[in-house]
Amino acid sequence: MKKLISIFLTAMLCMSLTGCGGGDSGKTPSEKTSGLTSALNEAASSAGTRLPEMVSVSADTLHDRFLIDAEDVKDFSAFVCGNGSSPREYGVFVAKDADAANRIAEALKTHVQIHRKTFETYKPDEMYKFDDSFIELNGNVVSYAVCEDNEKAYDLFK
CA 8 – CA 13 distance, rounded (Å): 9
Please give the order of strands across the beta sheet that includes 141-146: 54-56, 73-81, 89-95, 141-146, 134-138
80, containing H or E segment: strand 73-81
Sign of CA dihedral 33, 81, 115, 147: negative
Q: What is the pLDDT of residues 90-109, one digit of tens each?
A: 889 999 999 999 999 999 99
> Is residue 19 scored above 50 in pLDDT?
no
79, containing H or E segment: strand 73-81
CA 97 – CA 101 distance, rounded (Å): 6
- Asked if 91 and 78 count as a contact pair (C-beta separation under 8 A), the reply is yes
> Is residue 17 scored above 70 in pLDDT?
no
CA 130 – CA 147 distance, rounded (Å): 7
Residue 2, CA distances (Å) to 31, 124, 129, 143, 148 in order: 31, 24, 16, 19, 11
Q: What is the pLDDT of residues 54-81, one digit of tens each?
A: 888 999 999 999 999 999 999 998 989 8
